[in-house]
Amino acid sequence: MKSYLFAVLVLFIAGLSIGTACDSLPGVGNIPGNLAFDIVDEGGFPQAYVTVQAAKVGTSEPAQVITADENGHVFFGKLDPGEYIIYVLGPTEQEYDTDPTKTTFKLSPGRTLNETIMVDRSKPLRTPTLKQKR
């Protein structure tokens, strides 16, 4: 059993090393990736048709703006690798109060990241952080 666990650990570490090495190869670090989210409220219910913005950390304009579907799902395709923060806007185009530590995601080259974001509808909406795309 110990040798099995050791073999799994070695393969896991080797996979991490290979993934990191591949990210640094010329051209590989520029492969676009995708972000996919399910937007839910504190009770776990989907938040249909909310506006969701993805912005690279450190920028003041969204890279993409998407409206969630009837199941609260959004998909941001072909984003440059990097760290993104996700903002969720309510029906009046004001921003839901979300925890930035739970809405900031690192997108690796060529990867698709699937996550769930919870919005707290009990808190008041606030003025949007980002400039609005027109």
Helix and strand totals (H; E) in the chain? 1, 7
pLDDT in tens, the chain (134 residues): 666 556 555 555 655 555 555 555 555 678 999 999 999 988 999 999 999 999 999 988 899 999 999 999 999 999 999 999 999 988 777 888 777 668 899 999 999 999 999 988 777 777 777 765 54
User: Nearest-CA neighbor of 57 among 80, 27, 40, 26?
Assistant: 80
What does CATH list as the number for 32-134? 2.60.40.1120
Q: Model pTM greater than 0.75?
A: no
Q: Where are the domains of the chain?
A: 1-30, 32-134
Q: In angstroms, rounded to a whole number, what is the distance separating the alpha carbons of residues 95 and 55? A: 14
Q: Are 126 and 97 in contact (CB under 8 A)?
A: yes
